[in-house]
């Protein structure tokens, strides 16, 4: 088994889970909803293998198949804990399957980011970091195995870029991008995922993003899907505006990004800008679209919970916070917010459990401790 022996690096602030599991652009192709996921859940590995290998083989001679292949792989590699056993059974049943190792490698990478959580590094536990590294090791082993079985796999290199992003291995990532584009110079997915590794939060810059978009423009006529890369410029400008608390500008940038690419991530970030501007009803509409397009995107559920909280829909907020916690169970902020909602609906026992866990995770946080004290005071009259 191949291993990664590198020093983990983290961004100045964390934005979201794995983009490949989050960003689902408006479809330029039609695929049968959940067809491949249905095969996996039914453990019809033979049919799943045949269908995915058909797409993988076709893609190697026809780049137009890329989005259909992207969507098929996304269906069966989202960070759903129920899928791991199925994927391992698939690998065990067909050990030399290129598709099985590729999908499981992508799945493990997505799980790694989920284990990491979505909070600042200072609010991330060592257990979360260890979980991320463990699953990245597993992802890398599967992706290397897939490449050994088929050296022409573009997507194995794309997924490895995502793994090495967390280790700050910029030269290694660039080499993987160059390999992918040598195999398919018209690949949108390879270019997009590489851009995500050169954003400022990962040690890159706007100039590098602009350079990559510019390099792709000569290929737009041959592959119109590459025009979606223009959204990356506005997405990054929007994120920088959010960081600077320039929320009206952030709203405008993410609206422009949505003009180019309709995705769960873009809706979530525009909704976040709207929430900061105090327009919680409009924010809720964007968050609804975000979770509809990206059902495994924990941050979108947490943000929608925040909008519902501000609209005084506390039960609805609890449901969304609970969904977010199902993906990111040690997120102390979400635990504290759900605890506050439990207090507001008159359930101090549940509030106490959430706030105790938040304080256990981060004992020095004053807001968590204040919330815990409120929960304890709410319970004490019932005990006296």
Q: For residue 231, which of 190, 201, 260 has the smallest C-alpha distance?
A: 260
Q: Give me the domains of the chain, ranges plus CATH numbers.
A: 1-204 (1.25.40.10)
In this prediction, residue 356 carries a pLDDT of: 97
Measured CA to CA, the distance from residue 314 to residue 308 in angstroms comes to 7
3-state secondary structure of 384: coil
Q: Are the C-beta atoms of residues 69 and 57 closer than 8 Å to each other? A: no
Both tokens assigned to 2: 């191949």
**Portion of the chain with pLDDT greater than 70, in percent:** 89
Question: Residue 169 in 3-state DSSP?
Answer: coil
Is residue 12's pLDDT more than 70? no
CA 82 to chain centre: 17
According to the model, what pLDDT value does residue 123 have? 67
Q: Helices 264-276 and 280-293 sit at what angle, rounded to 10 degrees?
A: 160
Report whether pLDDT(18) > 50: no
Evaluate whether 75 touches 99 at the Cβ level (below 8 Å).
Answer: no
Q: Is the pLDDT of residue 210 over 90?
A: yes
Name which residue leads in pLDDT, 177 or 384: 177
For residue 349, give every residue at least 6 positions away whose Cβ sits within 8 Å of its Cβ, in sequence order, or none: 379
295 Cβ neighbours under 8 A, 6+ residues apart: 78
Q: C-alpha 206: how far from its chain's center?
A: 21
Distance (Å, rounded) from C-alpha 139 to C-alpha 125? 21
pTM: 0.78
**Assigned token pair, 55:** 């797409």
Asked whether 354 and 338 are in contact (CB, 8 A), the reply is: yes
Phi-psi category of 4—alpha, beta or left, where left has phi over 0 and alpha has psi -120 to 50?
Answer: beta
pLDDT in tens, 239-282: 999 999 999 999 999 999 999 999 999 999 999 999 999 999 99
Q: Round to whole Å and give the CA distance between 272 and 246.
A: 12
């Amino acid at each position: 088994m191949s291993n990664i022996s590198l020093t983990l690096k983290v961004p100045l602030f964390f934005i979201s889970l794995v983009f490949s599991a989050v960003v689902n652009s408006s479809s330029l192709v039609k695929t049968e909803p959940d067809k491949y996921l249905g095969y996996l859940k039914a453990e019809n590995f033979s049919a799943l293998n045949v269908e995915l290998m058909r797409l993988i083989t076709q893609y190697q001679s026809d780049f137009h198949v890329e989005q259909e292949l992207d969507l098929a792989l996304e269906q069966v590699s989202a960070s759903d804990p129920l899928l791991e056993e199925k994927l391992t059974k698939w690998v065990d049943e067909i050990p030399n399957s290129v598709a099985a190792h590729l999908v499981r490698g992508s799945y493990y990478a997505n799980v790694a980011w989920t284990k990491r959580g979505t909070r600042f590094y200072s609010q991330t536990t060592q257990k979360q970091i260890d979980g991320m590294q463990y699953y990245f090791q597993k992802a890398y082993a599967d992706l290397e195995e897939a490449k050994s079985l088929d050296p022409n796999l573009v997507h194995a290199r794309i997924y490895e870029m995502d793994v090495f992003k967390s280790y700050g291995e910029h030269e290694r990532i660039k080499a993987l991008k160059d390999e992918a584009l040598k195999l398919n110079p018209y690949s949108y997915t390879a270019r997009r995922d590489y851009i995500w590794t050169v954003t400022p939060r990962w040690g890159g810059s706007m100039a590098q993003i602009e350079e990559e978009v510019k390099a792709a423009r000569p290929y737009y006529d041959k592959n119109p899907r590459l025009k979606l890369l223009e959204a990356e410029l506005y997405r990054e400008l929007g994120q920088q505006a959010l960081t600077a608390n320039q929320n009206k500008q952030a709203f405008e940038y993410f609206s422009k990004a949505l003009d180019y690419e309709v995705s769960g991530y873009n809706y979530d970030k525009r909704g976040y800008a709207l929430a900061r501007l105090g327009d919680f009803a409009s924010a809720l509409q964007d968050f609804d679209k975000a979770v509809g397009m990206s059902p495994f995107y924990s941050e979108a559920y947490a943000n929608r919970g925040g909008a519902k909280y501000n609209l005084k829909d506390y039960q609805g907020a609890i449901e969304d916070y609970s969904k977010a916690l199902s993906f990111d169970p040690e997120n102390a902020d979400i635990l504290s917010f759900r605890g506050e909602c439990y207090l507001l609906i008159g359930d101090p026992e549940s509030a106490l459990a959430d706030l105790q866990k938040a304080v256990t995770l981060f004992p020095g946080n004053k807001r968590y401790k204040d919330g815990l004290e409120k929960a304890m005071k709410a319970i004490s009259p019932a005990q006296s």
